[in-house]
Amino acid sequence: MTDDLITALRSTGAVRGFTADVVDDATVAAILDDARFAPSGGNRQPWRVAVVRDPAVRHAMGDLMRPVWQEYAGAQAAGHRAFAFGRSVDAPPVPAPNALIDGIEAVPVVLAVAADLRDIAIMDGNVTHGPAVVGGASIYPFCWSVLLAARARGLGGVLTTFLSRNEAAAAPLLGLPEHHALVATIFLGVPTHRPTRLSRRPVNSFAT
């Protein structure tokens, strides 16, 4: 692997603050053009992306994400892992600010990513440990490739899933097709600050 690739892998952290610089349509198209080479089960490429520009739609997305964020913040404040195994926690929501959600209309690029469930093999669908998770292997590499392709163009970004909690209400806003699941919202832009020293657990803490 090249030094540049190693550097990107070790330093592409979540970016949640963006300048007012515009990211043009050609750049967004180029990012998606690179990301489409991500791997997926059976090469089914189940992703579908909405580039959300309409301020009213963005505002509505923020309104749907805000109570989920506040529930998340409330659970964390009470010492719980919010939404573990998809469950809510009996803790009061906290009206904490969230710069991305509160300022969603000003974010340079907002992408809503969906997956066609008919094209994903859910290998753990009959496992009793809780919600099925392995189907994400066919969609989240694409999302990560979006972030890496953005990084290669001097941009930063973050993947969020708060909107997925309110998928039923978000679906008509985004034109979510039948049989599709809303798997991520990705924010992109020129970063106000790019993290360069990421904190991660050492290999011997998770590998045996």
Residue-wise pLDDT for 22-80, tens only, equals 999 999 999 999 999 999 999 999 999 999 999 999 999 999 999 999 999 998 888 88
Instruction: Tell me the pLDDT tens digit for each residue of 151-182.
Output: 999 999 999 999 999 999 999 999 999 999 99
DSSP letters, the chain, are --HHHHHHHHH------B-S----HHHHHHHHHHHTT---GGG---EEEEE---HHHHHHHHHHHHHHHHHHHHHHHTT--TTGGG---SS-------HHHHTGGG-SEEEEEEEEGGG---TTTT-TTSS--GGGGGTHHHHHHHHHHHHTTT-EEEEE-GGGGGHHHHHHHHTPPTTEEEEEEEEEE-BSS---S-----GGGT--
Judged against a pLDDT cut of 60, whether residue 94 lies above it is answered with yes
State the chain's mean pLDDT as an integer.
93
Instruction: Provide the pLDDT for residue 1.
Output: 44
Paired residues of 156 in beta bridges: 189
Which of 14-18, 75-79, 184-188, 202-206 shows the lowest per-residue confidence on average (mean pLDDT)?
Answer: 75-79
Instruction: Tell me the pLDDT tens digit for each residue of 11-27.
Output: 999 999 999 999 999 99
Instruction: Provide the pLDDT for residue 130.
Output: 73
Instruction: Provide the pLDDT for residue 90.
Output: 75
